C-alpha cells in the first residue's frame, strides 16, 4: 500500500488532438478526457520525471498537474513545459474579522 494522491492533468483543449494518442500519456495518466482534463487516483511516484519527459516532447505545450494527497493540506500544482517544472503550493488565507458580519 502506498500514499494515494488524486492527480488531475489539464492541457489546453487546442493541444488535446496533438497529445491524445501519445502512448506514454495513455500509460501514465489514462489520458481519456473530454475538454482538457484527466483524473487518476493512486500512487504515481515518478509523476515529475514522467511529465518532464512528456513535456520535453511537446515543448510548446503547458501541462498543469494538480495533486491532492491523503494528508491534510497536501495540495499542490505543478506546471510542466519544455522538460522543466514549476512547483506551486496552495495558500490558504482567512478573511479579517469584521464585526458587521456577525449574525
Contact between residue 57 and residue 83 where contact means Cβ atoms under 8 Å apart: no
Domain assignment present for 14: yes
What residues form DSSP beta bridges with 39? 8
Report residue 84's pLDDT band, with 50, 70 and 90 as the boundaries: very high
Domain assignment present for 100: no
Domain assignment present for 96: no
pLDDT digits (tens, 9 = 90+) for 9-57: 888 877 777 777 777 776 555 544 444 556 677 788 888 998 999 899 9
Identify the pLDDT of residue 22: 75
DSSP secondary structure letters along 57-90: HSTTPPEEEEEEESSTT-EEEEEEETTEEEEEE-
Residue 56 CB neighbours (<10 A): 13
Identify the pLDDT of residue 85: 98
Identify the pLDDT of residue 34: 43
C-alpha cell at 9: 492533468
Report the CATH number at residue 77. Answer: 3.30.70
Q: How many domains, in total, are found in the chain?
A: 1
Residue 62 neighbours by CB under 8 Å, 6+ apart: 11, 12, 79, 80, 81
Domain assignment present for 97: no
Identify the pLDDT of residue 39: 67
Q: Residue range 91-100: average pLDDT?
A: 94
Domain assignment present for 20: yes
Residue 80 neighbours by CB under 8 Å, 6+ apart: 51, 52, 54, 55, 62, 63, 64, 65
What average pLDDT does the structure give for the chain? 83
Q: Residue range 77-81: average pLDDT?
A: 96
Domain assignment present for 50: yes
Domain that holds residue 62: 5-90
Domain assignment present for 103: no
- Please give the model's pTM, rounded to 2 decimal places: 0.78
| CA torsion through residues 56, 67, 79, 60, sign | positive
Domain assignment present for 21: yes
Amino acid at each position: 500500500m502506498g500514499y494515494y494522491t488524486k492527480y488531475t492533468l489539464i492541457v489546453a483543449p487546442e493541444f488535446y488532438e496533438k497529445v491524445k494518442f501519445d502512448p506514454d500519456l495513455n500509460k501514465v495518466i489514462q489520458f481519456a478526457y473530454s475538454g482538457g482534463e484527466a483524473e487518476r487516483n493512486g500512487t504515481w511516484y515518478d509523476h515529475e520525471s514522467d511529465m518532464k519527459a512528456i513535456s520535453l516532447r511537446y515543448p510548446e505545450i503547458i501541462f498543469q498537474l494538480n495533486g491532492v494527497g491523503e494528508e491534510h493540506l497536501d495540495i499542490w500544482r505543478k506546471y510542466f513545459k519544455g522538460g522543466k517544472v514549476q512547483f506551486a503550493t496552495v495558500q490558504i488565507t482567512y478573511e479579517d474579522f469584521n464585526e458587521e458580519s456577525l449574525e
